[in-house]
Amino acid sequence: MAAIDMIRPLNASGFSIARIFGAIASWNDARVTRKALSKLSARELDDIGLNPGDIDQIAARTYR
């Protein structure tokens, strides 16, 4: 009978399912952030201390 190793979550290639789902969730958070900020006007962005050129940088930080 073979035992299942529950302590070591990585498979042979070094990736785990949880890590993959985490990356997908982070990517989706960045996408949602970028979409929400893109809907704001320049004045609304200025009210929160941003300009339209900052949107991609903000979303990239969310992704990392």
Q: What is the pLDDT of residues 18-45, one digit of tens each?
A: 888 998 998 999 899 999 999 999 999 9
Residue 23 covered by a domain: yes
In this structure, the chain runs to a length of 64
Residue 51 covered by a domain: yes
Number of domains in the chain: 1
Residue 55 covered by a domain: yes
Residue 36 covered by a domain: yes
DSSP string across 21-44: HHHHHHHHHHHHHHHHHHTS-HHH
For position 60, what pLDDT does the model report? 79
Residue 2 covered by a domain: no
Instruction: For residue 59, give its domain range.
Output: 17-63
For position 57, what pLDDT does the model report? 87
For position 3, what pLDDT does the model report? 55
| Torsion (CA) 52, 49, 45, 35 in degrees, nearest 10 | 70
Residue 10 covered by a domain: no
For position 62, what pLDDT does the model report? 61
